[in-house]
Structure 1
Amino acid sequence: MVAPAVQVPGTVPFVDDAAIEAFLDNQRNASGRVTLRRLASRDEKEFLDLVSASAELHGPWMALPSTPELYRAYVTRYAQPNEESVLICVRDSGAIAGVVNINSIIRGRFQSASIAYAAFAPTAGQGYMTEGLALVVRYAFEQLRLHRLEAQIQPENHASLKLARRVGFRHEGYSPELLYIDGAWRDHERFAITSSMVDIAPTPPHPTLPER
């Protein structure tokens, strides 16, 4: 279950890391190079600095908040129960290496979500995103008890396509004009991964899954 958010009137919601901490405590590879935590208000300055430093890297592929006002709205969005933003952090330094957004979580018979991800320039190309995205996939299946994650990627975004394949996503098709990005409807390659494709211990069905 997604960890609840606690909000004081007039403030940005405080996000509880308990679900991620419980997941990390159960990981066999706890000595990996990266760790995870949920996006929070306290990350504002570091996050905005990284977005500014990564403008060329993100190009037309990923639009992240670039002002304090946009950042606070972003944190508020991802404090909702059907959305989650997970930071990939370098274990030794605590530096934010990337972000993975788990969007539009749908329960019931679907138990699915869409994900989007971005590396940050200072640590890009060092394998942190591959390790971190694989960890987020396991978190989504083991802790959030999702069954399927989808990723929509523009055909020209070769780095993102390679990352999805490295982590084990399978290519499922091509959709013209799928998403509105950077002022136009963009074509996307569709990728997905399911819990049965990942070597994880079976989990009971989520409580929202219908009996029949």
Structure 2
Amino acid sequence: MPEPEWLGRGPRVAIRPVRPGDGPEFTRLVRASEALHHPWLSMPATEADFAAYAATLDGEQRAGLLVCLRETGAPAGFVNINNIVRGRFQCGALGYGAFAPAAGRGLMSEGLGLVLRHAFGPLGLHRLEANVQPGNAASLALVKRNGFRLEGFSPGFLFIDGAWRDHERWAITADMLPDHDG
């Protein structure tokens, strides 16, 4: 089997676009990760839901990326860049999640770093936001480790798990990356 076309590679993980053929493995991992993500996140857990999700990933307004183990190519998690706005904004909003077998090993932190370099490099974005529920310690740690700054609080921001949930707004701009050359 040929090696996937990676958009970025780190020591342990690499990123690539989500593909329609990822459905069976993606949904299997989503179902295995349900306890990890409840009540923070809901993801496509059936083939039909995955097909609908994958169809929205046009690369222009929404990009879906898999964080994969370099050794095996197995998915460790995903990062979506949603609501991409061009023109004077050049921004997007992140959605992400680790899959249970890979959670707690720093793989998503490495993967998010690769996504940031891809977004601020080839995609030409200037700013990314991550909206995180205040009680989601793992997600807050992830954005902090990757250099995001806290910008505010949004009451009733997203409807998740049957209720409107408050979120903290975290953001990063291209010039905030540690290896930015000015």
User: TM-score, length-normalised on structure 2?
Assistant: 0.93
SS in 1 for 2:29: helix
1:3-22 to 2 correspondences below 5 Å: 21=6
Shift of 1:185: 1.2
8 Å CA contact 2:30–2:45 kept in 1: the answer is: yes
In 2, Cα distance between equivalents of 1:57 and 1:36: 22
What runs of 5+ residues in structure 2 fail to find an aligned partner?
none
Query: What SS does the aligned partner of 1:93 have?
Result: coil
Map of 1:143 onto structure 2: 122
Q: Given the alignment, which residue of 155, 173, 176 partners 1:197? A: 176
Q: Once the two structures are superposed, what CA deviation does each residue of 1:48-87 show, in whole Å capped at 9, x if it has no partner? A: 1100100000111111001111110010011352100100
Counterparts in 2 of 1:8-157, with a 5 A limit? Answer: 21=6, 23-24=7-8, 30=9, 32-79=11-58, 81-157=60-136
Amino acid paired to 2:162: G
Amino acid at match of 2:180: I
CA RMSD after TM alignment: 1.5
In structure 2, how many angstroms separate the alpha carbons of the residues matched to 1:121 and 1:145?
31
Give the Å deviation of 1:200.
3.0
Cα deviations across residues 179-212 of structure 1 (Å, max 9, x unaligned)?
Answer: 121221110011000001012356xxxxxxxxxx
AA partner of residue 107 (structure 1): R
- One-letter amino acid of the counterpart of residue 131, structure 2: Q
| Larger Rg over CA atoms | 1
Number of positions where the alignment pairs a residue of Structure 1 with one of Structure 2: 178
Answer yes or no: is the 8 Å Cα contact 1:138–1:200 preserved in 2.
no
Q: Determine if contact 1:52/1:66 at 8 Å carries over to the other structure.
A: yes
Residue type matched to 2:95 in 1? Answer: A
For the Cα contact (< 8 Å) 2:127–2:172, is it kept in 1?
yes
Report the more deviating stretch, 172-181 or 49-58.
Answer: 172-181
Tell me whether 1:175 sits opposite 2:139 in the alignment: no
**C-alpha deviation, 1:31, in angstroms:** 5.4
Q: Which runs of 5+ in 1 are unaligned?
A: 1-16, 25-29, 203-212
